Amino acid sequence: MRLLKVATCNLNQWAMEFDSNTKQIKDSISKAKQAGAVIRLGPELEISGYGCEDHFLELDTVNHSWECLKNILIGDWTDGIVCSIGMPIIKGSERYNCQVLCFNRKIIMIRPKMWLANDGNYRELRWFTAWKQRDQLDDFPLPLHVSEALGQKSVPFGYGFVKFQDTAIAAEVCEELFTPSPPHAELALNGVEVFMNASGSHHQLRKLDVRLRAFIGATHTRGGVYIYSNHQGCDGGRLYYDGCASVVVNGDVVAQGSQFSLNDVEVVVAQIDLDVVASLRGSVSSFQEQASCKVKVPSVDVPYNLCLPFDLRVPLSVPLQIKYHSPEEEIAFGPGCWLWDYLRRSGASGFLLPLSGGADSSSVAAIVGCMCQLVVKEIANGDERVKADAIRIGNYKDGQYPTDSREFAKRIFYTVFMGSENSSDMTRSRAKVLADEIGSWHLDVSIDGVVSALLSLFQTLTGKRPRYKVDGGSNVENLGLQNIQARIRMVLAYMLALLLPWVHNKPGFYLVLGSSNVDEGLRGYLTKYDCSSADINPIGSISKQDLRAFLRWAAIHLGYASLADIEAAPPTAELEPIRSNYSQLDEVDMGMTYEELSVYGRLRKIFRCGPVSMFQNLCYRWGARLTPSQVAEKVKHFFKFYSINRHKMTTLTPSYHAESYSPEDNRFDLRQFLYNTRWPYQFQKIEELVRELDVKDVQESGNHETLAALSNGVGGMGVAAAGSGNPNVGI
């Protein structure tokens, strides 16, 4: 037997916060050594933080990373343990994303990343160069201050592996695992048994299975130990890195860390018998044949044994049942942990949420309630850092600290129902009941006086007073009256967030939370600069369908029973008067259902469909219940209002990224915001396709009169009409 104990970790690093990042790296190494591990893997770019973005272009960021690495190496942190530490490095005139392999206060080698992540939220090619040389290791001169401190002038730099006397190890950095020809394939043929993947992978609903299947597939047929490390938390932006540090042996998961946690440093340890790797490889004939004619990969020799011999006192790690969270749990815990990181690092004293009693704002309230529950639970589990943050944020005195989530929510969470003459008693009541269940400090405010004052001012200026459509007003008047209410709520929310702490003799300020969902953003069904405009939004890239499922789950598992009634109520903006023969409904206003919006969103972003290809796809999907003409009307209706309202995405509140079809304009979904909303070329192509399909249907049915009419152009389609309500709220 060759017994090897390895450690990997989830670290909650903060971009550009070098002191705390270095401290947490040291803490993780100490915990790994205490557990007896001889290999410690940390996440990608862990010294600087992964989310530095254009700060990577600054020489200071690289220089500070070297200073922090030197600080680690001059101590005893790396004595007797191999540490893979991530940082940016400049070689010549190029900047590389690197893993630095250290051992016994020396640098063994520097491994630059060869395949960079450059899609979705990732922009690594903006800041780094991909390493392209595969046949040799370069000699890299260390910075003078590092060289003098370590007594080491240069180190091997490039693609290769480290060969100890009893095993071989190698780095594979994040994106490289997911390439068509990943490095671990040829490294395995060269005898590498332990692969170390340092990652900066963010949370996305239902994504974890894809990641774990990649680890399992990397070692299932070719054998090996695959160690994965990741960031965990909000490091300063829209992303939540969802941890799940893991160890996989020959396709079996033998250790798995948490996906969501308030813990800044989590170390996951596994005890492995490397002989099982050699045994599997020796039993696969094709592996033996390919290894005999492999392309040789450069290596660095280290005259040291990492493994221990057979010892019954050392238990081996066994395969585990993989832990997956349901999508509803992901919505609760991911945004909840993200909010906590943002709150404690922003210097704010709490959150303020305009709570309408509808599904979206109630989802946000429930997520904040979940955050409060997580904080109290971590304190009860003995996390002193969470306890210290909670005492500071909640302004506790005389040794007190949170022991009850509702009491903690009362200190750090304001909810405000901003009602008008158009608000119903049901939504007012639902908001109050939910606030009581969560424990927030709840206010019920009427905005009618402010609305009336603005309308009187307008009437003084113009001599006219707008009316709602149900009272005989035009579409423009109706839209204007709705927007006045919505925008007043934003102004009032920010005023209360700033001044309520002062009123209650609390220090600091409160962050305003937004509550628009991904489907409303995609369709543009929101008012620009209304309550969708906030400091941050935990549900901005989550679909309405997922939020409704979350509400049903949270009513039971978070203990907020009123959420069941909120979920069952039809979605409404309550910006128009309620009449006996009219009640405003979101889906009527939009001219499409939320279920349809989810379909449009996925086709547009994930499957990269324009109007024509979306029409063709939906003809297959909806062909059993809709004619091609009806499908065309729906597609054109969506693209018309998507393009009319795309400009709203340029001012979208920074939102937690959770969905791969998010229309977020700033980082993820980069498109123009001024369109020809008639889409003349594309819509004409759709009309041609519809006519072709109609002709084929008629030919098959034998209706010659209809065929002649179609051939003469009868039955062409116009642009879809708006819904019976006002689908363009918020221009």
Residue-wise pLDDT tens digits, 349-369: 999 999 999 999 999 999 999
Choosing from 52, 174, 234, 619, which is the catalytic residue? 174
Spatial distance between the Cα atoms of 366 and 364, rounded to a whole number of angstroms? 5
pLDDT for 361 equals: 95
pLDDT for 709 equals: 54
pLDDT for 662 equals: 78
Percent of the chain clearing pLDDT 70 (strictly above)? 95
Indicate if 44 belongs to the active site.
yes
Which tops the pLDDT comparison, 723 or 553? 553
What is the pLDDT confidence band of residue 724, given thresholds at 50, 70 and 90?
very low
The mean pLDDT value for 487-498 works out to 95
Asked whether the predicted pLDDT for residue 284 surpasses 80, the reply is yes
Q: Which residues contact 57 (CB under 8 A, 6 or more apart)?
A: 95, 127
pLDDT tens across 381-418, in order?
999 999 999 999 999 999 999 999 999 999 999 999 99
For residue 466, the SS3 value is coil
Indicate if 53 belongs to the active site.
no
pLDDT for 706 equals: 54
Q: Which of 25-34, 258-267, 556-565, 596-605 has the lowest mean pLDDT?
A: 596-605
What is the pLDDT confidence band of residue 712, given thresholds at 50, 70 and 90?
low
pLDDT for 705 equals: 56
Q: CA torsion sign, 346 to 352 to 354 to 359?
A: positive
What is the pLDDT confidence band of residue 520, given thresholds at 50, 70 and 90?
confident
Spatial distance between the Cα atoms of 137 and 695, rounded to a whole number of angstroms? 66
Choosing from 356, 420, 515, 598, which is the catalytic residue? 356
Q: Which of 9-23, 397-411, 668-682 has the lowest mean pLDDT?
A: 668-682
The mean pLDDT value for 438-453 works out to 96
Asked whether the predicted pLDDT for residue 20 surpasses 70, the reply is yes
pLDDT for 708 equals: 52
CB 42 within 8 A of CB 73: no
Q: Which residues contact 712 (CB under 8 A, 6 or more apart)?
A: none
The mean pLDDT value for 231-244 works out to 95
pLDDT tens across 580-596, in order?
566 677 778 888 888 89
Q: What are phi and psi of 353, to 5 degrees?
A: -125, 120
- What's the 3-state SS for 496-548? HHHHHHHHCCCCCCEEEECCCCHHHHHHCCCCCCCCCCCCEECCCCCCHHHHH
What is the pLDDT confidence band of residue 695, given thresholds at 50, 70 and 90?
confident
Q: What residue type is assigned to position 23 of the chain?
A: K
The mean pLDDT value for 565-585 works out to 78
Choosing from 113, 605, 634, 640, which is the catalytic residue? 113
Choosing from 44, 172, 437, 520, which is the catalytic residue? 44
Q: Which class for 513: exposed (0-12), middle (13-18), buried (19 or more C-beta within 10 A)? A: buried
Indicate if 356 belongs to the active site.
yes
Spatial distance between the Cα atoms of 146 and 68, rounded to a whole number of angstroms? 10
pLDDT for 74 equals: 97
The mean pLDDT value for 649-672 works out to 82
pLDDT tens across 131-162, in order?
999 999 999 999 999 999 999 999 999 999 99
What is the pLDDT confidence band of residue 556, given thresholds at 50, 70 and 90?
very high
The mean pLDDT value for 564-570 works out to 92
Q: CA torsion sign, 371 to 373 to 376 to 382?
A: negative
pTM greater than the 0.95 cutoff: no
Give me the DSSP letters along 362-410.
Answer: HHHHHHHHHHHHHHHHHHHTT-HHHHHHHHHHHT--TT-----HHHHHH
Q: CA torsion sign, 129 to 130 to 131 to 133?
A: negative
Spatial distance between the Cα atoms of 548 and 558, rounded to a whole number of angstroms? 15
Mean pLDDT, rounded, of the chain: 92
What is the pLDDT confidence band of residue 449, given thresholds at 50, 70 and 90?
very high
Spatial distance between the Cα atoms of 361 and 573, rounded to a whole number of angstroms? 11
pLDDT for 703 equals: 59
Asked whether the predicted pLDDT for residue 43 surpasses 70, the reply is yes
Spatial distance between the Cα atoms of 70 and 56, rounded to a whole number of angstroms? 19
pLDDT for 583 equals: 67
Element containing residue 445 per DSSP (H, E): strand 441-446
For residue 253, the SS3 value is strand
pLDDT tens across 67-87, in order?
999 999 999 999 999 999 999
The mean pLDDT value for 446-451 works out to 94
